[in-house]
Each structure stands twice: as C-alpha cells, then as structure tokens.
Amino acid sequence: MKEWRKTLIKPDNSILDAIQVIDKSSVQIALVVDETERLLGTITDGDIRRGIVKGISLESTVQNIMKTEPSTVNKGVPKKEILALMRRKLFRQIPVVDENNRVVGLEILIDFVQKQEKENWIVLMAGGMGTRLGAMTERCPKSLLKVGNKPLLETIIENFVEYGFRKFFFSVNYLAEKIVDYFGDGSQWDVEIQYVKESSRLGTAGALSLLPELPEHPIIVMNGDVLTKINFQHLLDFHTEHEAQATMCIREYDFQVPFGVVTMDRQRILGIDEKPIQRFFVNAGIYVLDPSSLQYVPQNTLFDMPELFEKLIADQKETIVFPIREYWIDIGKLEDLDKANGDFNNVFVANNEKSHDQ
C-alpha cells in the first residue's frame, strides 16, 4: 500500500479518530505509533465494535482497545511468503516493520489477489404488509416505497453490490407480484435474484426453510425495511474472526425516563436521579448465519429470528453481536419514512459519490 502513512495515529488519539482513519483509508486498520513511528499496536474495525459492546467511550484513547502485540512482517520478506501468511492467518492487512519495529509499510490482501465476487447469499425479507404505514402500503409493498428517488429495496441491493455480493433471495408474500415485476431476475443491477414465495406469513426467519438448497457459505439475512450504510465486509470478517454460528447486528437505543428515579433502602431515600437516560442494545434486523444454523428453522412454519437465536443459545452454539456504528434506520412508521427521505441525499448519494471518487 503506497499511502500507508494515512493509517498512522498516536496512542493519545481518541477512538473516534481511529474510526475516521479506518473509514477514510478503506483498508480497515489503524496503526498506533510513537513519535519515531515505532509500532505500539493496531486497531481494526472489529476492535472498535468489541469496545462499543464493552461500553468503552468513543472519546477515550485508542490505548483502551488496541492490540498491543500485533502480527507483523519484517522488511524484505518476499511477497509470496507474506501472501501465504495472510491466507493462513486470515489476515486482510499486516504491518511491515524494520529491525527497530518502526513501521515501513502496510501489506493489504486485496493488493495480492484480484477482487472477486462474493459467494455469500443475501436473503432479504420483503414479505411484510407495512400496516403501520397506513394507506401508503394498500397498493404498494413497503419495500417498494420510494426513499429519495428510488424504492427502498433498490437502495438495499445497491449497497450490497458495492461490496461485491451478487446472489440474492427475496422472501415475498404481500403484493409479491409487484416486487417480482419491478426487480425481475436482477439483471438490470448485474445480480441474480430468486424469489422465495411464502404461502402464509412465516415471520423473520421461517422463510429460510424454503431456500432451494443449503448454502455453502455464511448468508446475510436482512429485513427489507432497513436502510443502513453498514460495511458488510466488516460484518462478514467479524463473523468469521469469531468462528460464530450466528451473528446479530445490534444498535444502541437510548430511553430517557421522564421522571426523577428514586433509589431507596426500604423507606429511606438514598438518592434521586432526575430523568436518567437508560441505554440498551437492540436487535437491528441484520444477521449472518452459518449454513449449519438453518437446520434449526422448522419447515414452512411461522418462526422469528429471535427464536432461532434462542435455539442456538440453548444448544450452546457460538452466537455473537455486531454493534452498528454506521447509519441505520428501520422504516416502520410514517415518521421513519420522512426521516429516511430527509437523510437520503446526505447519507446515500453523497457517500456513494465519495466512494466512487476514491
């Protein structure tokens, strides 16, 4: 990588600074160095998300989340050996250092191998009736409602295409023919679309039992009413890194109690917390599932994704969370649709123009 210096940050930089470095450099890593550019640690997108789950503030320094003993290669090691190491260790990037552990380069896997289309399937749940949107969905399925200048589901497809995904399954039920008529076989977007048609509503996971065959790779399942700028490569990497059977994307949700909360010991008041803010992590409607997890989905039965995770947890399978720090909105109500329309140009159009310029 020629511009590897753009990934360098100092140990007293904030985690927010690291996020900016990772997002701008597009190589998914920040290198923490001292004044002489001696390597002190590395920070990946996964490190940041694990910090979020632990409750570490994004304003705190990168020393709270960085790997202090990162893998490196010495200057002068042949490219063939570096590629073999990266494939063996599943590294996407690795710092190059001199005899004094000073950073002199950064090797990126994508520089070694030609970019290939991803073999992972994308399953989009687009069968909902959208009743909370009232008259707007009487003749139009929610996933075809326009956000910005195009249907919601079209923007979702384009976001996946940006990361190299080409094979899609749409789970359809309500006004299914309108979705099929609009998207067809997907050739207009240079993708392949197949349709899983629910004869009755099967919930957020039940339609997975109707897939024509068992996938060979982890699949991404996403509700068809979610708009997000999540980095799907980061999501897949996180799932693979943790050897998970199922990954659930989560969002932080803040709720302000409208009253003073009283802490007591029997009848004695210990304190009063005026209108405190409670923070929770909530299900964001995006998942990665290993093929083996699909055996837990009952055939052609109403079945929601939380039920699948409960079964996996009960069977002691590795189920993990992936906190979303990017833009995300669930379009369930009219005010959500209005907000998404207001956000569209800044979040999707502007960001896409930037990514094409880089």
Cβ atoms within 10 Å of 101's Cβ, excluding its own = 16
Q: What percent of the chain has pLDDT over 70?
A: 95
88-109: per-residue pLDDT in tens? Answer: 888 889 999 999 999 999 998 8
Instruction: Give yes or no: residues 219 and 87 share one domain.
Output: no
Instruction: Give yes or no: residues 128 and 97 share one domain.
Output: no
Give backbone dihedrals phi and psi of 175, rounded to 5 degrees, phi first: 50, 40
Instruction: Give yes or no: residues 104 and 235 share one domain.
Output: no
Whether the pLDDT of residue 221 is over 90: the answer is yes
CATH number, domain of 262, equals 3.90.550.10
SS3 call for 145: coil
Only one residue has tokens 């099929």, namely 180
pLDDT confidence of residue 117? 81
Instruction: Give yes or no: residues 101 and 126 share one domain.
Output: no
- Residues 13, 17, 19, CA angle at the centre, nearest 5°? 135
15-30: per-residue pLDDT in tens? Answer: 999 999 998 877 889 9
Could you give the dihedral angle defined by the CA atoms of residues 147, 158, 167 and 174, in that order, rounded to the nearest 10 degrees? 10
Average pLDDT over residues 208-231: 96
pLDDT confidence of residue 91? 87
Domains held by the chain: number: 2
353 confidence band (pLDDT: 50, 70, 90):
very low
Instruction: Give yes or no: residues 351 and 213 share one domain.
Output: yes
142-188: per-residue pLDDT in tens? Answer: 999 999 989 999 999 999 999 999 999 999 999 999 999 999 999 99
Q: Name the E strands within 213-303.
A: 219-223, 226-228, 246-256, 260-265, 268-274, 277-289
Instruction: Give yes or no: residues 126 and 272 share one domain.
Output: yes
CATH number, domain of 82, equals 3.10.580.10
Amino acid at 132: R
Domain boundary among 112, 147, 163: 112
pLDDT confidence of residue 110? 73
Instruction: Give yes or no: residues 300 and 167 share one domain.
Output: yes
Average pLDDT over residues 200-204: 91
Instruction: Give yes or no: residues 285 and 162 share one domain.
Output: yes
356 confidence band (pLDDT: 50, 70, 90):
very low
Cβ atoms within 10 Å of 316's Cβ, excluding its own = 7
Amino acid at 77: V
Cα–Cα distance list, 218 to 203, 234, 254, 288 (Å): 20, 14, 31, 6
Range of 62's domain?
A: 4-112
Instruction: Give yes or no: residues 130 and 164 share one domain.
Output: yes
pLDDT confidence of residue 357? 41
Instruction: Give yes or no: residues 78 and 181 share one domain.
Output: no
Average pLDDT, the chain: 91
Domain boundary among 62, 82, 112: 112
Instruction: Give yes or no: residues 59 and 129 share one domain.
Output: no
Distance CA 83, CA 245 (A): 27
Average pLDDT over residues 231-248: 94
Domain boundary among 71, 93, 112: 112
Whether the pLDDT of residue 354 is over 60: the answer is no
Distance CA 292, CA 270 (A): 51
pLDDT confidence of residue 128? 83
Distance CA 200, CA 336 (A): 27
pLDDT confidence of residue 113? 61
Average pLDDT over residues 43-71: 94
Instruction: Give yes or no: residues 80 and 126 share one domain.
Output: no
Measured in Å, how far apart are the chain's first and last C-alpha atoms?
A: 14
Sheet holding 277-289, edge to edge: 192-197, 165-172, 118-125, 219-223, 277-289, 246-256, 319-323
